[in-house]
Amino acid sequence: MERRHILLLLAAVFGLSAAGAFLGVRLAGERAEPPRVWTLSRPAPALLQGPAVSAVAEPDERSPVIEAVRRVGPAVVNIDTTARRYRFSFGDFWGFFGEPQAEEVPSGQGSGVIIDGAKGLVLTNHHVIQGASRITVTLPDKQAFEAEVLGSDPPSDLALLKIDGRNLPQATLAAPDAPVIGSWVVAIGNPFGFKNTVTVGVVSATGRSLKSPGGTILQNMIQTDAAINPGNSGGPLCNLRGQVIGINTAIISEAQGIGFATPVSTVRWVVKEIEQYGKVRRPWPGFYVRDLTTRIAGRLGMPAAEGALIVRVEQPSPASRAGIEAGDVILEIDGQKILTADDVVGVFVQARVGQKMKLVLWREGKKVTVTMDLQESQERASRTGALPPAGCADRTAKRPRQDSNLWPTA
């Protein structure tokens, strides 16, 4: 019985072996399929150009500040000036001095802005080009031109230049309205030689009056906290629409975030005067004033020492024709209260030839109102670049202390 079981078991193993061999031969005769290989597809790495890269423009790239810079930036120029200096060289063996030899030396750098591309008109500050024998204007695209001075006006510290170029970019002047305090502004210039530097701030105040180191009183200035540094002088102060609202002019050297720009209302008038007359015509009143002291005010019976004392009236002059006399005290001019002699000078900086001016005077214990027709004297008309309002100050009076911390920005 056990032998029979063993035989059956052997037969089963043999049969299974035969079946396995048959299947192996069958499978070996068939063609094998290649294995499937999976690959992971990844995008090509992008070239990084900043902290973040995106194929779609971010909202910041279309911000008002960037748009303003794109509109004004191409018209902002660098201004380099040279001055002519003379030196004497030793002559022959006997030691006689020879002829004076002139040489051009760099005298300064500043900024400017093209306000009329067709005419090639460039606006900058007077102190940027003052005393220069050669002025070179360089555009952001590296074009360089030698500039001609069409006119320069010390009282407003503005100068108008002309360059000969084609297809020049230009900036747009804003309306003469005063900017809103707190509104955003952009300053563009070349501080310390860093060309086309952009800074952003707000309008801190308007209507500021400043006395420069040279004694000139700058009127109706825009104050801003946009960073302005030496070399920014003559560059534009713009609104977010890319319009020029002022020309950067001065800074407080000991402060931070206190800069000043000449307003576009003054710019428009100065440019118009220079284009038409080659200078800025300013009226000459024909009188001289000084500050009113407490002692003099008491002698005149005045309630307070407020006003400007007229110490001399020239004959003939607009003042003499209006009936103004020495000893009168100016209390108001065209509704503006006068406290000091500087207030009178400030009014005449903004005055126009041909304007009628109403003055309220203190005379013999009462107020008197007179009207004066403003004219330009023939003497001053013949001297381009003269400072007419300086004639309002008493030549014999002690000059007021000048602010030593207010400096031009070029």
3-state secondary structure of 12: helix
**Domain contains 253:** yes
46 or 252: which leads in pLDDT: 252
Structure tokens at 38: 């999976």
**Domain contains 405:** no
Q: pLDDT at residue 355 above 80? A: yes
Are residues 294 and 391 located together in one domain of the fold? yes
Are residues 252 and 351 located together in one domain of the fold? no
Q: What percent of the chain has pLDDT over 70?
A: 71
CA distance 175 to 248: 17
**Domain contains 394:** yes
Report the pLDDT averaged over residues 364-378: 88
288 or 53: which leads in pLDDT: 288
Residue from 106, 107, 88 nearest 97 by CA: 88
pLDDT at site 400: 31
Entry pTM: 0.70
CA contacts within 13 A on the Cβ side of 141: 8
Structure tokens at 61: 């790239």
Number of H helices and number of E strands within the chain?
Answer: 8, 21
Domain that holds residue 106: 70-85+101-162
**Domain contains 352:** yes
CA distance 268 to 150: 15
Q: pLDDT at residue 308 above 80? A: yes
**Domain contains 157:** yes
Are residues 296 and 208 located together in one domain of the fold? no
B/e letters for 81-110, b = 16+ CB within 10 Å, e = fewer, are bbeeeeeeeeeeeeeeeeeeeeeeeebbbb
CA distance 52 to 330: 65
**Domain contains 1:** no
Are residues 152 and 178 located together in one domain of the fold? no
**pLDDT band, very low/low/confident/very high, at 251 (cuts 50, 70, 90):** confident
Report the pLDDT averaged over residues 284-305: 92
User: Edge-to-edge strands of the sheet including 97-116?
Assistant: 144-146, 134-138, 76-90, 97-116, 121-124, 158-162, 148-153
CA contacts within 13 A on the Cβ side of 333: 25
Q: Which residues are catalytic?
A: 127, 157, 233
Report whether 274 contacts 153 (CB < 8 A): yes
Count CB-CB contacts under 10 A for residue 384: 14
Report whether 218 contacts 157 (CB < 8 A): yes
Task: Report CA 91 to chain centroid distance, whole Å.
Answer: 49
Q: Among 138-152, 351-365, 393-407, which is the least confidently predicted range?
A: 393-407
**Domain contains 377:** yes
Domain end: 217, 252, 277, which one? 277
CATH of the domain at 323: 2.30.42.10
Domain end: 221, 248, 277, which one? 277
Report the pLDDT averaged over residues 160-171: 94
Q: Among 16-30, 74-88, 237-251, which is the least confidently predicted range?
A: 16-30
CATH of the domain at 154: 2.40.10.10
Q: pLDDT at residue 173 above 90? A: yes
Structure tokens at 283: 């009226």
Nearest 5 degrees, angle CA 156-CA 243-CA 175? 65
pLDDT at site 373: 93
Q: pLDDT at residue 310 above 50? A: yes
pLDDT at site 48: 36
Tokens 């407080």 belong to which residue? 252
Are residues 367 and 296 located together in one domain of the fold? yes
Are residues 352 and 391 located together in one domain of the fold? yes
pLDDT at site 262: 95
Q: pLDDT at residue 43 above 50? A: no
Are residues 228 and 144 located together in one domain of the fold? no
- CA distances, 276 to each of 118, 270, 272 (Å): 17, 10, 6
Q: pLDDT at residue 334 above 80? A: yes
Are residues 268 and 348 located together in one domain of the fold? no
pLDDT at site 104: 62
Q: pLDDT at residue 102 above 90? A: no
pLDDT at site 254: 78
Q: pLDDT at residue 392 above 50? A: no
Are residues 157 and 180 located together in one domain of the fold? no
pLDDT at site 245: 97
Residues 6 or more apart in contact with residue 159 via CB below 8 angstroms: 123, 124, 125, 126, 128, 129, 149, 151, 152, 153, 234
pLDDT for 177-225, tens place per residue? Answer: 889 999 999 999 988 878 889 999 999 999 898 877 666 778 889 999 9
Are residues 304 and 375 located together in one domain of the fold? yes
pLDDT at site 404: 35
pLDDT for 50-93, tens place per residue? Answer: 344 444 445 566 789 999 999 999 999 999 999 877 665 555 55
Total domains in the chain come to: 3
Sign (positive/negative) of CA torsion 267, 269, 272, 277? negative
**pLDDT band, very low/low/confident/very high, at 143 (cuts 50, 70, 90):** very high
Residues 6 or more apart in contact with residue 34 via CB below 8 angstroms: none
**Domain contains 407:** no
Tokens 């202390």 belong to which residue? 401
